[in-house]
Amino acid sequence: MSMRVTDNYLSSILVGDLNRSLSGLLKAQQQASTLRRVNSFADDPRAVSSIQRYNQLIAMNDQYRNNVSRSRIMVDATDTALQTISEVLADVRVIAMRESSALATDETMGTSTVEVDNEVNRLMDVLNTTVEGSYLFGGMQTSQPPFVRSGDTVIYQGDDRVMQSRTGPNSLLPVNIPGKVFMGDQSSSLGGGKDLAPRMVGTTSLDDLDLGAGWEPGYIQITDGADNTWTVDLSGAMTVDDVLNAINTETGGAVTASIAPDGSSFQFDGTGPLTVTDTGDTNTATSLGINAESDGDTLTGRDVRPRALGTTNLADIDALAGNLPLGAIQVDWQGSSYTVDLSGAATLGDIETLFEAAVPGMDLQVKDSALMVVGGAPENFQITNADGTNTATLLGIEGTGTPVRLFGIMDDLKAALKAGDQDAVRSTMTELQSLEDMVSRQMILNGGRQSDLDWADQVLMERDERLRSNLSLESDADAAQVATDLSRANSIYQASLTVTSQMFQYNLIQFLR
């Protein structure tokens, strides 16, 4: 039985085959142009869900990296602000140190009051810093200035909450420092009311002079009333005795150098008036406190006593002369009273040891040639004399310890400067030092955050590379394979065109033959 294939059926087969060849060619061309293996759901339904999941993970990872970038801006701005605050506090402490010295006058104190006002304004500017329109030190209250003036008082109107930045699927990093930490919620402190710098002696190192500021080696020039001039080389001096011996040797006894009776400065005796000046490119005479001119036969330099250290003997401290051995003090702290017997102390370090052993949670430190008591909590404490020796008063630690206050201590310093009260000026240095220590801790904390953000960014970069690599395995095409498939699809399509054109050349006459 014969079967006849109709032209209609034959044409449908040929056209269908031609369309399939064209579809294969178009698919190969699309893969070649995009270099992607999966360009539609139909290409690989199984791989589509994986591709969508990887795209979502990559998008989330990009958001985490954006968070890290924005957080880094805030943390870097915080670091800059903290450095400025530290500089301001250091400048103010220098003012307090200067105005509590023998060089202070009513005129310099008036000028220093203006300087402190300027530093307060500088602090206000720094603490109201904005980053991308948000206030840096306001906690979560970022839309308004955190520090504002209310009369003569600066108040904080932010909160104590810390902003957290999402830097990974399961990680949050803090990025700000609430301004409340500067308002006195870290620790309490007291002290610094007495200058405990020791007397200068012959063996005192020149590097320890001027409360640790040291000196500048070089030459000095001495002139007396008989028009004699001597240039003295002090570049090799190490101790106070070295300076005295060099001067006495060079002048041949015409000018006698010695330590002033109170042990605070150098003294020169000779035919007056006596003049001591710097010579050459150094400030040797100035650094030793002897760059001056006398009215008579005696020239007394300024106070350049060495700094007080834990090893300083109490017997060498002029402020304690005639009051040794020390007695006892009483500390009222966190609902308890402690009596500290200091009668066995021979050095400032002994006082530290005895105090800290008797009062838990408190530290006693030697700061700027004064004693400072620091409580480990922001609570008031009281230190009083426990006997008739007035030991707490002598050591400059009698009174009430209060939390450190950034703007409050500035107000106290200005009040002390206006009143010309040098003891009150000196007492502010303790709290200023505590504030500097607190700012240093915040800088360390912020530095740790910078390191954490660097680490998080590195982790996210590596994660991004892994995700994109996995996505590529699912969606990207092999270039060599695509070229081969494109060539084959093109050949198949060309063959289909050839076969189709040849088949449709048959006509009825050819068929009848």
Total residue count of the chain as it appears in this document: 513
Percentage of residues in the chain having pLDDT higher than 70: 82
Q: Is residue 85 part of a domain?
A: yes
**Same domain as 166, residue 75:** yes
Average pLDDT over residues 355-365: 91
Average pLDDT over residues 496-500: 66
When mean pLDDT is compared across 6-10, 274-278, 459-463, the lowest value belongs to 6-10
**Same domain as 286, residue 220:** yes
pLDDT of residue 185: 52
Q: Contact, 197 vs 317, CB < 8 A?
A: yes
Average pLDDT over residues 432-461: 89
Q: Is residue 482 part of a domain?
A: no
Query: Among the three residues 271, 300, 329, which one is the final residue of a domain in this structure?
Result: 300
Q: Is residue 7 part of a domain?
A: no
Average pLDDT over residues 172-185: 82
- pLDDT band, very low/low/confident/very high, at 276 (cuts 50, 70, 90): very high
Strand partners, 232: 220
Q: Is residue 416 part of a domain?
A: no
**Same domain as 271, residue 158:** no
**Same domain as 258, residue 148:** no
pLDDT at residue 7 is higher than 80: no
Average pLDDT over residues 273-291: 92
**Same domain as 106, residue 173:** yes
Domain range for 62 is 56-186+428-461
pLDDT of residue 328: 96
Q: Contact, 186 vs 403, CB < 8 A?
A: yes
Residue with tokens 């004399």: 385
**Same domain as 220, residue 273:** yes
Q: Is residue 266 part of a domain?
A: yes
pLDDT of residue 184: 59
Q: Is residue 4 part of a domain?
A: no
**Same domain as 81, residue 178:** yes
Tell me the pLDDT of the chain averaged across its residues. 85
Query: Among the three residues 258, 279, 300, which one is the final residue of a domain in this structure?
Result: 300
- Model confidence, pTM: 0.59
Query: Among the three residues 242, 275, 300, which one is the final residue of a domain in this structure?
Result: 300
C-alpha span between 302 and 286 (Å, rounded): 9
Burial level of 498, CB count in 10 A (0-12/13-18/19+)?
exposed
**Same domain as 274, residue 210:** yes
pLDDT digits (tens, 9 = 90+) for 312-339: 999 999 889 999 999 999 999 989 999 9
pLDDT digits (tens, 9 = 90+) for 387-410: 989 999 999 999 888 776 788 888
Query: What CATH number should be reported for the domain holding residue 178?
Result: 1.20.1330.10
Which span out of 132-136, 192-196, 198-202 was modeled with the highest average pLDDT? 198-202
Q: Is residue 66 part of a domain?
A: yes
Pick 46 or 65 by higher pLDDT: 65
Candidates 432, 468, 450, 382; CA nearest to 61 is 468
Three-state SS string over 246-274 comes to HHHHHHCCCCEEEECCCCCCEEEECCCCC
- pLDDT band, very low/low/confident/very high, at 475 (cuts 50, 70, 90): low
Average pLDDT over residues 224-231: 94
Containing H/E element for 171? strand 171-174
Average pLDDT over residues 158-187: 82
Alpha carbon 170 to its chain centroid, in Å, reads: 28
Please tell me whether residue 42 adopts helix, strand or coil conformation.
coil
**Same domain as 66, residue 141:** yes
Average pLDDT over residues 284-297: 93
pLDDT at residue 204 is higher than 80: yes
Task: Give whole-number Cα distances, 333 to 87, 185, 380, in Å.
Answer: 32, 16, 7
C-alpha torsion sign, points 186, 188, 194, 200:
negative
Q: Is residue 504 part of a domain?
A: no
Please tell me whether residue 229 adopts helix, strand or coil conformation.
strand
Which span out of 52-66, 235-249, 427-441 was modeled with the highest average pLDDT? 235-249
C-alpha span between 436 and 367 (Å, rounded): 12
Candidates 425, 475, 472; CA nearest to 192 is 425
C-alpha span between 341 and 344 (Å, rounded): 8
pLDDT at residue 30 is higher than 70: no
Candidates 496, 474, 488, 478; CA nearest to 31 is 478
C-alpha span between 42 and 383 (Å, rounded): 84
Angle, helices 422-475 vs 406-419, to 10°: value is 160
C-alpha span between 131 and 112 (Å, rounded): 33
**Same domain as 347, residue 449:** no
On the CB side of 265, CA atoms within 13 Å amount to: 18
Q: Contact, 410 vs 349, CB < 8 A?
A: no
pLDDT digits (tens, 9 = 90+) for 367-389: 778 888 888 777 789 999 999 89
Q: What's the structural domain count of the chain?
A: 3
**Same domain as 441, residue 389:** no
Average pLDDT over residues 156-184: 85
Query: What CATH number should be reported for the domain holding residue 347?
Result: 2.60.40
Average pLDDT over residues 64-70: 91
Average pLDDT over residues 344-366: 93
pLDDT at residue 481 is higher than 80: no
Task: Compute the radius of gyration of the chain from its Cα atoms.
Answer: 42
**Same domain as 287, residue 243:** yes
